[in-house]
Amino acid sequence: MEITNVMEYEKIAKEKLPKMVYDYYASGAEDQWTLQENRNAFSRILFRPRILIDVSNIDVSTTVLGFNISMPIMIAPTAMQKMAHPDGELATARATSAAGTIMTLSSWATCSVEEVASTGPGIRFFQLYVYKDRNVVRQLVKRAEEAGFKAIALTVDTPRLGRRESDIKNRFELPRGLTLKNFEGLDLGKIVKTDDSGLASYVAGQVDKSLSWKDITWLQSITSLPILVKGVITAEDARIAVEYGAAGIIVSNHGARQLDYVPATIMALEEVVKAVEGRIPVFLDGGVRRGTDVFKALALGASGVFVGRPTLFSLAADGEAGVRKMLQMLRDEFELTMALSGCRSLREISRNHIKTDWDTPHYLPAKL
């Protein structure tokens, strides 16, 4: 079957993957309302395209934290990619590098930071969970730095793991032969079967519930890498993140896997963008499946987007080639959206290119 859009990879992945693995990747928390809403909210934003603009040359390139990348579409951190494909994160790293964009490696990857670095050059960020044992964190951050990673994406929405009912039903565990490679030498690399979700038990035992804003200062004291705060969805927290010297914010609800009934990230984005007042860049993840979604996020003030599940499903379907094609399709759709909206560069994408269902209709003509 010829793949013509990113969503089609999910169907193939569902057929190929064991139920426990597919459910782990695909599911959200509790009623999964936010999981649906992350997608549905994009459909409530419509375009206001401008016409008769010369769009024979379109530039989709941008810079993120001073790094030049080919497009504002990057890879979000997703855990345990060897469950999807034997090459796991190595395939994702090669595909992302070939596309000229940024990969974020999960703390809970099935390949280590060193293994990912060994795939060759590329701009890579490291997603960090803060463990109770701070020496583990210190060691991990140092290893990421030494392996050439360029930023830390600090996940701040997971003091405890959200209730993912399919993982409980499936008694989720890391399949035989796989480990959380970054923790292997620390005896923290295994997720075993419990009478609950094995991952929930692991998080309860290892991840620091006391994490607070002062720990961003601590993190800054142990690394010179810029710190992106991942998991902000309110103006209040956005302002505090700026005060604490965050290099950027990722508006994220953890793929709708933590607290259900939070807004879709695309709905929370503008509030966060307005709160930071241009002082630091704001990014978005959650629900991006089309180039049109990327354009909508940028029109609402995002500097770029990260994609998670599309990476896992395209990897499951066709390994490195799948991830390459997924990124290319999003890029092509985004470029087409720009052309049809009358935008030749990211600078030209503005709030006036979209209308949302929460807008005041300032641009509608007066009644005749």
Q: Which residues are catalytic?
A: 254
Residue 176 burial class via C-beta count within 10 angstroms: exposed 0-12, middle 13-18, buried 19 and up: exposed
Q: What pairing do the DSSP bridges indicate for beta strands 67-69 and 62-64?
A: antiparallel
Yes or no: say if 307 and 288 are a contact pair by the CB < 8 Å rule. Answer: yes
In angstroms, how far apart are the furthest CA atoms of the chain?
74
- H helices of the chain, where? 8-16, 19-26, 33-40, 88-99, 113-117, 134-146, 165-169, 198-206, 214-222, 235-243, 265-276, 291-299, 309-341
Orientation of helix 265-276 relative to helix 291-299, angle to 10°: 30
22 vs 35: CA distance, rounded Å: 15
138 vs 129: CA distance, rounded Å: 11
131-167 as b/e: b if 16+ CB within 10 A: beeeebbeebbebbbebebbbbbbbbbbeebbbbebb
